[in-house]
Every structure is written in C-alpha cells, then in structure tokens.
Amino acid sequence: MKEGPDIARIASLVGDPARANMLTALMDGGALTASELALEAGVSLPTASSHLAKLMDGKLLTVASQGRHRYYALSGAEVANMIEAISGVAAHSGPRRARPGPRDKSMREARVCYDHLAGDHAVAMFDRLIAQEIIVRDDEEIRLGPAGQGFFAAIGIDTATLGASRRPMCRACLDWSVRRSHLAGSLGTAILDKILAEKWARRPTGSRVVEFTPPGRKAFEKLFLS
Amino acid sequence: MKEGPDIARIASLVGDPARANMLTALMDGGALTASELALEAGVSLPTASSHLAKLMDGKLLTVASQGRHRYYALSGAEVANMIEAISGVAAHSGPRRARPGPRDKSMREARVCYDHLAGDHAVAMFDRLIAQEIIVRDDEEIRLGPAGQGFFAAIGIDTATLGASRRPMCRACLDWSVRRSHLAGSLGTAILDKILAEKWARRPTGSRVVEFTPPGRKAFEKLFLS
DNA sequence: AGAATGCTTCGACTAGCATCGAACCATGGA
DNA sequence: TCCATGGTTCGATGCTAGTCGAAGCATTCT
C-alpha cells in the first residue's frame, strides 16, 4: 500500500491555489521576496508566510536572507520539472481556456522554464539537434552526440566543462503547451544564456515570456533550425 | 497571476493520500477494479468511489466497464510521467524512510492483493508454474497449461468448475515490491483459499500481511517451488 | 423471478486547514 | 536610542473536503 516516497504530501503542497501561484511565479528561476509572493498569490502577508514555511518544510523552496529581505526561490530544477509535468496534465484536463489570448500566444512560442528555454521554439530546436545528431536519445537518457562538441564549441559553449559538473548536461523536459520534449540541463541553461547575452531576445520583467527581436529570431533560426 | 492551466486543481487531486495510493497502484499501467483500489488505498468502498469520480472528473483516469466490473486505469503516459516527477521530488524532500521496518518486510514477502496472494512468494510461485507449464502466458493472456488440470486436481482445486465461471481464471497482476507478475483471477483466489484452509498461513486482522507458519512455509515450498 | 455481487449516490459527521487581524521579532536608518 | 519597514507567530473563525453507514442501481448467476 504505502510504497514509494510520500507523494501525497508534496502534491498537496502544490494543491493549494495560493501556493501553486507562488510556485508558478518562481518558475522563471528568479527569486522573490515574501511580500511579492503574497501579492502574486493574492493573499495577505501572514497567510503567505505560513505557506512559505510549509513549502520550505517540504524542501520545495530555498531562501536567502539579504538585509531585511528574504528571497525565496525554487530549490532546484527537479521541482521546476515537476511543475511543468503537472501543468502538462492540467492543460489537457482543465476547463479549456476559451481563447488563448495574446499573452498565452507568446508563452506558447517561447518562455523560460526555470533556467532553460521552453515553448515551440525550444521544441523545434530540440528536434533539429536530434536530427543532426548533435544530441542523441539513448532510451530514456539524452547525451551529446558525435557532432555535438564541435557544434557547441563553434558558438562558444564548452561542453567539456559542462560535463565535468555534477548536474546532468542534457535532460529532456516535457512541454505543457506542445506535448513534446525540449532540452533542459546545464546545456539548456547555456543555450538560454547565449540567446540573452547575444541580445537575440529579452525578458519582460515579471513574466516568463521570452521575446525574440526580429533579427534575433533570424539568428536563432539560422543557428538551430537550418 | 493566473496564467497557465489550473495546476492547483490537479495537484490537489494527487494530494489526498487515498487518491495518491490509487494512482501509484495504477502506475504499472494495469487496470484495477473499484474494490481493488479501495483496498489499495485503505478506505471504504463508498469513499473510494467518490475519489474515483473526482479523478475521472480531472481526466486522470479512464474507465472500462466489463460486465459488472469497472476497470480503472491511468488515462495516459503523461499522467504517469507526472507521478514520476512528483515522486522524484518527494524522494528528496520526504522523511527518508529510515528502515523498512518488520511490517514492510513481511508485506514484501507475502500479502493479500484483493483476493489472491502477492509478494515474493507469489512471484516465485508464478515463475514456477510457468516453468512447469502448469500455466502458460499467451501474449498478454494467461491460460491453464497442459500440466495444469492434473496438478490442481491433485490438490483439490477443480479447474473445470472454475473455468465454467465468467470470471477470468488466470490473470497476471503486477507487484509493486518486485516489479513482476503474480497470479490473480479465480485460480489465484482458489490457491489463497487453500493456503488459508490448510492453515499454512494466517492473516492478522486489519492487515494485508500473510504470515506463514514454519511448517506451512515448508508445505507451500514443497508444493509450488520444487 | 429471486438472490448475490459490484459499484454509486445520499446524508450526516468530523477534522483539518486556509484565512486574516493583531501582536511580536529583526534589521536598517535617523 | 527611537522609529520605520519587512517577516513571522499567535489566536480565533469559518469553510471545505474526506469519511463511513445505509440505501439505491445495475448486472450476472441460479
């Protein structure tokens, strides 16, 4: 009966609307203060504090005290991955949002998923990388392919140092908008970093949307989709 | 604030212990009846029914009516993926099950799964019955093998009358402790009945554990494992 | 037809938990 | 030292949702 880890415990943590809002607000990988999160969740400060304590207790969040502020953030990519997975199911189950709306459209196109790129663009890129054997799926795992090291070196991403880290370099992350995988892991992070560093896209504050500039999109497509 | 799909809604579905147990019980991809799930979750039948209705409403489960049984199963791989993701986080967060404890050990060894035997003993017996062609796997189905009728007749189980019933005589049931199959169906029930009737084992009330007596275990092993 | 089994619905009870106001601690600045 | 601001704790309140017994359908076996 009671087998694996206590799944109900942490699912119920996400199950409260206020907490769910907080978690999604943190999905961009940033850190927010308690008051900001209270606002985001639409509850009073005491209530928010109580929720944050619970999330901390469940190790879903980490906190960093800075002066008299306390910055809360997701405790890791694993948590972000879980939220995405839940979103995926919810998208199919939910009371179909009548019309997607413009904001949802850009979200669908390109958004930040914790620390890497998600959305249509990310999925297309993922497929292309697979097709060119820059990365390869090996059963459930994803690894750098034969053409990988050279490709990334040419755009200034050193896969050797990435691989040395403890964090998995390549991971598949399932999208809730499209039903397909995109690239997570430290390589996914590196690619997002490059996109922002090259100013191909910018991130409106307080949102997960990634807005490509017209020339930025061209550059992105040329590099990853051709 | 409210952007993505309603994640809290479905997270709270998984957030109830009873429902979480049901979902994990279905993680093998199999289908179980409402009563089996009630047992698995440790709640009464009405309660289970209510939970199942909610899970259906959230589109996490599908149901297939077969005769007077209703077989529930996960609605898709996406749901399974979500459960896995949650388990992953829970494993890191949870209060590390320090030691399995004696109760878990006996559960792993032999327990009742609805109306038949499960656990290590059941899996070993299943393998042995297959090896001796007392039963045979035919693709997904399981049937009585050439040596079957004689074998069971010798221990007082009349396979002819069992086969006359509408209920499937042989069914494979997947174990959570070991990830392998054991025997369910009316034949599985008959075997469990015999074990209890011969007093080879007894069932502590209020538990699924099946406790073999030392001579009982000997007899069982001689009959099914030699 | 009648009995038995599997499952769902109804009704009542209870417990847990989210919520907020007010008081309380901590840090930073005057 | 004294205020101002960001956060947490406490206490009281109200609502939601899980729980089970009993009764109600539906299907199948005799």
Read off the pLDDT of residues A179-213 as tens digits, 9 standing for 90 and up: 567 887 788 888 888 888 888 888 776 667 788 88
* Together in a domain, B108 and B220: yes
Ranges A107-116, A207-216, B8-17, B93-102: which has the least confidence: B93-102
What is the distance between the alpha carbons of residues B144 and B148, in angstroms, rounded to a whole number? Answer: 6
Task: Give residue A109's pLDDT.
Answer: 81
Q: Is the pLDDT score of B4 beyond 70?
A: no
CB–CB of B88 and A103 under 8 A?
A: no
Could you tell me if residue A2 is inside a domain? no
Q: Return all residues near A134 (Cβ < 8 A) that are at least 6 apart.
A: A144, A145, A147, A148, A151, A152
- Boundary (domain end) residue, out of A75, A98, A133: A75
Q: For A85, which residue in chain B has the nearest alpha carbon? A: B82
Q: Is the pLDDT score of A83 beyond 90?
A: yes
**Domain that includes residue B81, residue range:** 7-93
Alpha helices in chain B (DSSP H): 7-15, 17-25, 34-41, 45-57, 77-93, 101-109, 120-131, 148-154, 159-164, 185-197, 214-224
* Together in a domain, B153 and B205: yes
Model confidence at B206, pLDDT cuts 50, 70, 90, reads very low
* Together in a domain, A43 and A100: no
Q: Which two tokens stand for residue A68?
A: 């008299």
* Together in a domain, A186 and A105: yes
Chain B closest CA to A172's CA: distance in Å? Answer: 12
Residue nearest to nucleotide D10 (CA to C1'): A46
User: Is A42 at the interface with chain B, CB within 8 A?
Assistant: yes
Could you tell me if residue B38 is inside a domain? yes
Q: For A79, which residue in chain B has the nearest alpha carbon? A: B89
* Together in a domain, A49 and A154: no
* Together in a domain, A103 and A182: yes
Beta strands in chain A (DSSP E): 32-33, 61-66, 69-74, 111-113, 116-118, 135-138, 141-144, 171-174, 181-184, 201-202, 211-212
Higher pLDDT, B1 or B15: B15
Could you tell me if residue B189 is inside a domain? yes
Of A113, A119, A116, give the one whose Cα is nearest residue A24: A113
Higher pLDDT, B81 or A17: A17
- Boundary (domain end) residue, out of B28, B62, B93: B93
B18 touches strand D (CB under 7 A): yes
CATH of the domain at A16: 1.10.10.10
Q: What rounded mean pLDDT belongs to chain B?
A: 79
Model confidence at B55, pLDDT cuts 50, 70, 90, reads very high
Coil, strand or helix: which one is A143? strand
* Together in a domain, A101 and A114: yes
What percentage of chain A's residues is helix, strand, coil (to nearest 5)? 50, 20, 30
Question: Which among B7, B107, B177 has the least Cβ separation from residue A90?
Answer: B7
User: Is B58 at the interface with chain A, CB within 8 A?
Assistant: yes
Could you tell me if residue A141 is inside a domain? yes
CB–CB of A10 and B86 under 8 A?
A: yes
Residue A167 DSSP one-character state: S
DSSP assignment of A91-142 = HHHS---SS-HHHHHHHHHSEEETTEEESHHHHHHHHHHHHTTSEEEETTEE
Model confidence at A2, pLDDT cuts 50, 70, 90, reads very low
Cβ neighbours of A17 in B, within 8 Å: 8
CB–CB of B90 and A10 under 8 A?
A: yes
Average pLDDT over residues B30-38: 86
Q: What percent of chain A has pLDDT over 90?
A: 21
A47 touches strand C (CB under 7 A): yes
Model confidence at B22, pLDDT cuts 50, 70, 90, reads very high
Question: Which among B82, B91, B94 has the least Cβ separation from residue A86?
Answer: B82
User: Is B207 at the interface with chain A, CB within 8 A?
Assistant: no
What is the distance between the alpha carbons of residues B75 and B72, in angstroms, rounded to a whole number? Answer: 9
Task: Give residue B181's pLDDT.
Answer: 67
Helix axes A7-15, A17-25, angle to 10 degrees: 90
Q: Return all residues near A141 (Cβ < 8 A) that are at least 6 apart.
A: none
Return the top range by mean pLDDT from A215-224, B53-62, B146-155: B53-62
Interface with chain B: mutation pick from A26, A59, A86, A108, highest number of B CBs within 10 Å: A86
User: Is A16 at the interface with chain B, CB within 8 A?
Assistant: yes
Higher pLDDT, B125 or A179: B125
Q: Which two tokens stand for residue A8?
A: 């109900």
Rounded to two decimals, the ipTM of the complex is 0.69
Could you tell me if residue A1 is inside a domain? no
Task: Give residue A143's pLDDT.
Answer: 82
Task: Give residue B176's pLDDT.
Answer: 46
* Together in a domain, B142 and B110: yes
Residue B32 buriedness (CB in 10 A; 0-12 / 13-18 / 19+): buried
Could you tell me if residue A121 is inside a domain? yes
68-127 on A, CB < 7 Å from strand D? 68-70
User: Is A102 at the interface with chain B, CB within 8 A?
Assistant: no
How does pLDDT run across A135-169, given as a tens digit for each residue?
887 655 678 888 888 888 888 888 888 777 666 77
Could you tell me if residue B1 is inside a domain? no
* Together in a domain, B117 and B53: no
Q: Which amino acid is at A176?
A: W
77-106 on B, CB < 7 Å from strand D? none
Chain A closest CA to B24's CA: distance in Å? Answer: 8
B62 touches strand C (CB under 7 A): no
What is the distance between the alpha carbons of residues A35 and B192, in angstroms, rounded to a whole number? Answer: 60
Task: Give residue A61's pLDDT.
Answer: 94
* Together in a domain, B72 and B118: no
Chain B closest CA to A18's CA: distance in Å? Answer: 9
Q: Is the pLDDT score of B179 beyond 80?
A: no
* Together in a domain, B88 and B107: no
Task: Give residue B198's pLDDT.
Answer: 85
User: Distance, angstroms, CA A24 to C1' C28?
Assistant: 31
List protein-proximal bases of chain D (any atom < 7 A from a CB). Answer: 5-11, 17-23, 26-30
Could you tell me if residue A135 is inside a domain? yes
Model confidence at B180, pLDDT cuts 50, 70, 90, reads low
Q: What percent of chain B has pLDDT over 70?
A: 76
Q: For A26, which residue in chain B has the nearest alpha carbon? A: B1
Domain count of chain B?
2
Chain B closest CA to A88's CA: distance in Å? Answer: 7
Task: Give residue B138's pLDDT.
Answer: 66
Of A78, A4, A11, A14, give the one whose Cα is nearest residue A41: A14
* Together in a domain, B113 and B39: no
- Boundary (domain end) residue, out of A52, A75, A98: A75
Ranges B27-31, B55-59, B133-137, B164-168: which has the least confidence: B164-168
Q: Is the pLDDT score of B86 beyond 70?
A: yes
Q: What values do phi and psi take at B176, rounded to 5?
A: -90, -30
26-45 on A, CB < 7 Å from strand D? 33-35, 45
CB–CB of B89 and A10 under 8 A?
A: yes
